[in-house]
């Protein structure tokens, strides 16, 4: 698979800043076995971005993927989304867009009335500065606590109450080869995670103290982390056994919203290493 990387940044294009994000993308692509055949930097200019996208998407380039980085914020010169939409033939919505679409439909509205923008990882600052009305991707056990500690009221729409199927979000991942080579060791690790969660639920104060003590270089014993820790307790999986029915429902939902091209055999997605 061949890929091109386009960095959108006026300061990088002018030589005033280093292209760290483009370099990081190239490294990640190489780790995934993707051949990076071109890297280019353009300014935060819609015409330049469109020209670069069209050039690398030309059939003679034989490019399978085009990665862009930069220009997705909220300032007037962040025009990467607009430039991309002007070039593509068909939009491929991601999970956040599918979730908003489902929630709006369930509430009797339409996602067409929602303008999606990227704020990167600055979810809380974007909300508190009123740059956006809502964010997708914030954790109810962390960002919500973070905002409340600043004296702000937080409204929260729980996706599972608006038609989005529940799913296992934090999962342990290995390769087929790794599983074949170290199945016994991985099984012991999963069982250790199960015991650790059980201990945390039974002895939360002791578990939090152990958590703080195990990370002496980090400031963890504060209101944010204590409250976040408490808010996380109800969300811990009571079992490390994954259920086919849950994956099947999520699989069909993703396909229906065109996040994936079609349902996949869910039995190939996971392996239970606990009884």
| 273 CB burial (10 A radius; 0-12, 13-18, 19+) | buried
Report the residue count for the chain: 275
Q: Tens of pLDDT along 23-57?
A: 999 999 999 899 999 999 999 999 999 999 999 99
**What does the buried/exposed string (b/e) look like for 92-119 if buried means 16 or more CB atoms within 10 Å of the residue's CB?**
eeeeebbbbbbbbeeeeeebeeeeeeeb
Question: What sign has the CA pseudo-torsion 233, 239, 241, 242?
Answer: negative
Residue 73's pLDDT is 72
Q: Residue 151 region, left (φ>0) first, then alpha (ψ -120 to 50), else beta?
A: left
Cβ atoms of 70 and 35 within 8 Å: the answer is: no
CA-angle at 247, arms to 244 and 249, nearest 5° = 105
Asked if CATH classification 3.40.980.10 holds for the domain at 2-87, the reply, yes or no, is yes
Q: Name the pLDDT band for 78 (thresholds 50, 70, 90).
A: confident
Write down the domain spans for the chain. Answer: 2-87, 95-162, 176-268
Please state which of the four CATH numbers 3.30.70.890, 3.40.50.2300, 1.20.1440.130, 3.40.190.10 is assigned to the domain occupying 176-268: 3.40.190.10
Looking at residue 108, the DSSP 8-state letter turns out to be T
Residue 131's pLDDT is 87
Residue 117's pLDDT is 81
Which of 104-109's residues contact partners 24+ apart within 8 Å by CB, and which partners? 105/163, 106/162, 106/163, 107/162
Q: Tens of pLDDT along 90-118?
A: 666 688 899 999 999 999 999 989 988 87
| 43 CB burial (10 A radius; 0-12, 13-18, 19+) | middle
Residue 221's pLDDT is 94
Q: Tens of pLDDT along 124-147?
A: 888 998 889 999 888 899 999 999
Cβ-based neighbours of 179, under 8 Å, separated by 6 or more: 186, 271
Q: Tens of pLDDT along 178-234?
A: 999 999 999 999 999 999 999 999 999 999 999 999 999 889 999 999 999 999 999
């Amino acid at each position: 698979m061949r890929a091109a990387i386009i960095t959108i940044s006026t300061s990088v294009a002018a030589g005033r800043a280093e292209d760290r994000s483009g370099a990081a993308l190239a490294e990640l692509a190489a780790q995934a076995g993707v051949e990076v055949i071109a890297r280019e930097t353009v300014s935060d200019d819609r015409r330049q971005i469109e020209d670069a996208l069209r050039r690398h998407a030309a059939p003679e380039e034989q490019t399978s993927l085009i990665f862009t980085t930069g220009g997705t914020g909220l300032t007037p010169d962040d025009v990467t989304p607009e430039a991309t939409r002007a070039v593509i033939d068909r939009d491929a919505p991601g999970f956040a867009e599918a979730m908003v679409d489902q929630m709006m439909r369930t509430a009797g509205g339409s996602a067409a009335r929602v303008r999606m923008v990227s704020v990167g990882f600055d979810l809380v600052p974007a909300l508190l500065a009123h740059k956006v009305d809502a964010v997708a991707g914030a954790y109810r056990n962390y960002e919500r606590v973070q905002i409340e500690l600043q004296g702000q009221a937080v409204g929260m729409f729980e996706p599972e109450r608006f038609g989005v199927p529940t799913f296992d979000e934090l999962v342990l991942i290995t390769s087929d080869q790794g599983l074949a080579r170290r199945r016994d060791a991985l099984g012991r690790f999963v069982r250790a995670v199960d015991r650790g969660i059980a201990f945390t639920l039974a002895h939360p104060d002791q578990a939090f103290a152990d958590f703080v003590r195990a990370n002496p270089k980090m400031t963890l014993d504060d209101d944010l982390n204590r409250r976040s820790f408490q808010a996380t307790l109800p969300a811990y999986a009571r079992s490390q056994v994954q259920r086919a029915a849950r994956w099947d429902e999520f699989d069909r939902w993703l396909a229906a919203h065109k996040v994936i091209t079609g349902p996949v055999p869910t039995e190939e997605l996971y392996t239970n290493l606990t009884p």
